[in-house]
Amino acid sequence: MSLLIVGCGYVGKALAQHRLNQLGKNVSRTNSTVYALTRTDENAQALKEAGIHPLVGHWLVEESLPELPQDLTEILVSVPHREDPASGLPADSDQYHVQGLQLLLNRLSQTRTAENPMPKLVYLSTTGVFGESVPGERVDETTPVSPTRIGPRIAVAAEQWLLANQSSWKSSILRLAGIYGPGRVPLLQKLKDGQPLAVPQEGSLNLIHVDDIVQAIQWLLDTEVFEPLYQLSDGHPVRREEFYRYLSKIHGLGEPEFVDASPQDSRARRSTDKLVDSSLFWSQSKLTPIHADYRSGLSALL
């Protein structure tokens, strides 16, 4: 049961480390490998030093894609939702991830048989697909999407392609709320530097700790029965002002200062006031969040 991570960034590396820890404890998986697709030899060397088997190539460029290992049984796609000039697509296209998924499917299907079926796929999307949500609206997997920025538009296009191709590639989409964890806490450095925060004080932050993302992905890879689409948050939205005041307090910093954000600021454009409902995932998986809310998650990082 070998795993390929396409887009081995913050979440991908956390999953890789989790899987490597599992392999070290489970002698029945000694023939398993954690692979990661990377673009450069420099990144490949860093992955190798971390115990990850690198495959060098670009998932959006067919001629650069390496041969994919025959022992693959699982794939995680955790590529950032942004434009990529190497793809050859127009700058305003929403088809970047669709192109990558198509190339992966084509490459894999050339050698797959009934005895060696297509690997299970988990695709990481974003709750940013609800760009025009009504303030205070609760959004779940059945809520119509309304992406307003290029990143969520790319995610929606990939979601739609995967849902339309379930017959040829069984997959599950995991829409992630705001990610935080070790080395990744929103605006913490600005607070430490005493800088004002150009974020709205009102509105809700929907969050998910990287530890809980990893356990969710692992459940999806391990389970036989799963839905094609889930949302993932800790289920406890918090007002932005409350979050940053608590963050300042536990780090022994002064009260945060808030200033109006410029409409051109990316954080202002991303700010919405939706309430992410992830009850479908937690009820079906029967998992319990490792970090039940932002207080638990932030305190664990101290």
Indicate whether 199 belongs to any domain: no
Cβ atoms < 10 Å from Cβ of 152: 23
Tell me which residue of 175, 172, 231, 235 sits closest to 205, measured CA to CA. Answer: 235
Residue 297 lies in a domain: no
Alpha-carbon radius of gyration of the chain = 20
- Tally of domains within the chain: 1
Domain assignment present for 268: no
CATH number at residue 68: 3.40.50.720
Model-level pTM? 0.94
State how beta strands 238-239 and 204-205 pair. antiparallel
Tens-level pLDDT at each residue, the chain (302 residues): 799 999 999 999 999 999 999 888 764 555 689 999 999 999 999 999 999 999 999 999 999 999 999 999 999 999 999 999 999 999 999 999 999 999 999 999 988 887 889 999 999 999 999 987 777 899 999 999 999 999 999 999 999 999 999 999 999 999 999 999 999 999 999 999 999 999 888 889 999 999 999 999 999 999 998 999 999 999 999 999 999 999 999 999 999 999 987 666 655 545 568 999 999 999 999 999 999 999 999 999 99
**Per-residue tokens: 238:** 């918090």
What's the token pair of residue 178? 């705001």
Q: What is the dihedral of CA 113, 114, 115, 116, to 10 degrees?
A: 50
Give the pLDDT of residue 203: 86
Q: Residue 230's beta-bridge partner residues?
A: 174
How far is Cα 252 from Cα 295, in angstroms, rounded to an integer? 15
CA 260 from centroid of its chain's CA atoms: 29
- Which string of DSSP letters, residue by residue, matches 127-188? GGG-TTPPTT-EE-TTSPP---SHHHHHHHHHHHHHHHTTTTS-EEEEEE-EEEBTTB-TTH
Which pLDDT belongs to residue 263?
63
CB atoms closer than 10 angstroms to residue 89 = 16
What is the reported pLDDT for 135? 79
Task: Indicate whether 300 belongs to any domain.
Answer: no
Distance between CA atoms of residues 302 and 100, nearest Å: 38
User: Residue 189 falls within a domain, yes or no?
Assistant: no
Residue 197 vs residues 172, 248, 258: alpha-carbon distances, Å: 36, 12, 5
State which residues form the domain around 12.
2-184+207-236+275-290
262 lies in some domain: no
Token duo for residue 150: 């290029």
| Residue at 195 is within a domain | no
- Are 229 and 141 in contact by the 8 Å Cβ rule? The answer is yes
Burial degree of 146 (CB within 10 A; 0-12, 13-18, 19+): middle
Tell me 228's DSSP state: S
The answer to whether position 37 is within a domain reads yes
Cα dihedral 72→73→74→77 (10° resolution): 40
H-type alpha helices, the chain: 10-25, 41-49, 96-109, 150-164, 188-192, 210-222, 240-250, 266-270, 279-285, 294-299
